[in-house]
């Protein structure tokens, strides 16, 4: 996807939101016995989430399919205890494993094509976590009927980039098909004065979605225990359970 090859722009426009960082801290504090000393992200992009923990002095490790994302993450996470690899989240090879916490938010798991791939990924994540470790996994629970009403997921204001020029981004969900288990996402990136980047990048891609029961059985089959299910589009991100209609969720999983 073109957007994932604009790593420096992605890093500026999609920094972890402060209120979500506060929630993630609270979830880890609630469920991890003891302090977190190490964190990994199996689809780390430019390392936005890893940067949060790296700044606090934690040991971090990230992996991403896109070499450009990993290059940007290396630039941003220079120094300290860091491992960054280019690879597939189905075949993770972290030399610095095991970790206290794995973090894979924003439905990045939906980039995998099917359940067999999700199973492989979950087995890898189970293997790289310490016993008692947590995996905070974002996924989209989709049930009901086909819905083609466009829905804005996220937009950034025009933002000045450190390398020069400005950029803004809009994410929309344009089609949700529970029968096909796919959500279609449209991304519109607008730039001005950014060397080597087109003024308009407009692309669509599909993400794999899950039924509540299907997602539960995938994570439990891999050996994880579900501690909480936070509903990400509801005010306060409450733990309302992994139920049909849950939508965009973050599961708090424990490796027993
Ligand atoms: C939405 S971004 C998330 C980035 C980062 N985790 C964050 O929260 O900011 C999704 C990332 O998944 C990566 N990706 C897609 N398929 C992948 C795969 N099979 N294995 C590893 N990374 C993958 C993309 O290159 C992209 O950087």
What is the per-residue pLDDT across 99-111, written as a single tens digit (0 to 9) for each?
999 999 999 999 9
Residue 108 in tokens: 């990045």
pLDDT exceeds cutoff 90 at 84: yes
Rounded CA separation 154/144 (Å): 23
From 15, 45, 71, 76, mutation site for ligand 1 pocket: most ligand atoms within 8 A of C-beta:
45
Report, as an integer, the average pLDDT of 203-228: 98
Residue 62 has pLDDT above 90, yes or no: yes
Mean pLDDT value of segment 130-139: 98
User: What is the pLDDT of the chain when averaged over all its residues?
Assistant: 97
pLDDT at res. 2: 85
Out of 20, 65, 107, 139, mutate this one to test ligand 1's pocket (max ligand atoms within 8 Å of CB): namely: 65
Q: Which residue, 233, 173, 234, 252, is CA-closest to 209?
A: 173
Predicted local confidence at residue 3, as pLDDT: 87
Ligand 1 atom at shortest distance from the alpha carbon of 41: 6
pLDDT score at 58: 97
What number is the average pLDDT over the span 120-141? Answer: 98
How far apart are the C-alpha atoms of 209 and 107, rounded to whole Å? Answer: 9
**Structure confidence by residue, pLDDT tens digits, 228-250:** 999 999 999 999 999 999 999 99
Residue nearest to atom 19 of ligand 1 (CA): 88
Nearest CA among 49, 87, 68 for reference residue 197: 68
CATH class of 2-142+210-254: alpha beta
Kindly report, residue by residue over 167-203, the tens digit of the pLDDT.
Answer: 999 999 999 999 999 999 999 999 999 998 999 999 9
Q: 184: closest CA among 147, 157, 211, 235?
A: 147
What percent of the chain stands above pLDDT 90? Answer: 96
Interhelix angle 115-128/212-221, nearest 10 degrees: 40
> Could you tell me the distance, in angstroms and rounded to a whole number, from the CA of residue 168 to the centre of ligand 1?
20
List the residue whose alpha carbon is closest to atom 15 of ligand 1. 111
On whether the CB atoms of residues 134 and 253 are closer than 8 A, the answer is: yes
| Domain ranges for the chain | 2-142+210-254, 151-208
**Mean pLDDT value of segment 220-232:** 98
Residue nearest to atom 6 of ligand 1 (CA): 44
Count Cβ atoms within 10 A of the Cβ of residue 16 and give its class: 0-12 exposed, 13-18 middle, 19 or more buried.
Answer: middle
Return the pLDDT at 80.
86
CA of 46 to the centre of ligand 1 (A): 9
Taking the CA of residue 103 as reference, the ligand 1 atom at the shortest distance is 6
For ligand 1, residues with CB inside 6 Å are 4, 14, 41, 43-45, 48-49, 64-66, 69, 88-89, 105-106, 108, 111-112
Give the separation between CA 117 and CA 160, rounded to whole angstroms: 38
pLDDT at 164: 94
Q: What is the pLDDT of residue 82?
A: 98
């Amino acid at each position: 996807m073109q957007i994932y090859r604009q790593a420096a722009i992605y890093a500026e426009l999609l920094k972890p939101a402060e209120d979500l960082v506060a929630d993630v801290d609270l979830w880890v504090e609630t469920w991890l016995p003891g302090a977190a000393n190490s964190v990994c992200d199996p689809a780390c992009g430019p390392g936005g989430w890893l940067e949060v923990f790296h700044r606090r002095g934690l040991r971090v490790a990230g992996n991403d399919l896109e070499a450009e994302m990993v290059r940007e993450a290396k630039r941003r996470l220079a120094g300290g205890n860091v491992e960054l690899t280019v690879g597939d989240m189905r075949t993770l090879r972290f030399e610095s494993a095991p970790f206290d916490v794995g973090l894979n938010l924003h439905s990045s798991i939906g980039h995998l094509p099917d359940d067999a791939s999700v199973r492989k990924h979950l087995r890898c994540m189970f293997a790289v976590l310490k016993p008692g470790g947590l995996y905070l996994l974002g996924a989209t629970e989709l049930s009901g009927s086909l819905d083609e009403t466009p829905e804005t997921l996220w937009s950034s204001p025009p933002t000045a980039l450190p390398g020069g020029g400005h950029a803004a981004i809009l994410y929309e969900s344009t089609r949700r098909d529970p029968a096909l288990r796919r959500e279609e996402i449209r991304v519109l990136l607008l730039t001005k004065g950014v060397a080597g980047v087109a003024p308009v990048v407009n692309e669509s891609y599909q993400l794999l979605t899950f039924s509540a029961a299907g997602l539960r059985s995938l994570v439990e089959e891999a050996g994880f225990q579900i501690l909480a299910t936070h509903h990400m589009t509801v005010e306060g991100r409450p733990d309302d359970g992994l139920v049909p209609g849950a939508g965009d969720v973050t599961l708090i999983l424990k490796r027993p």
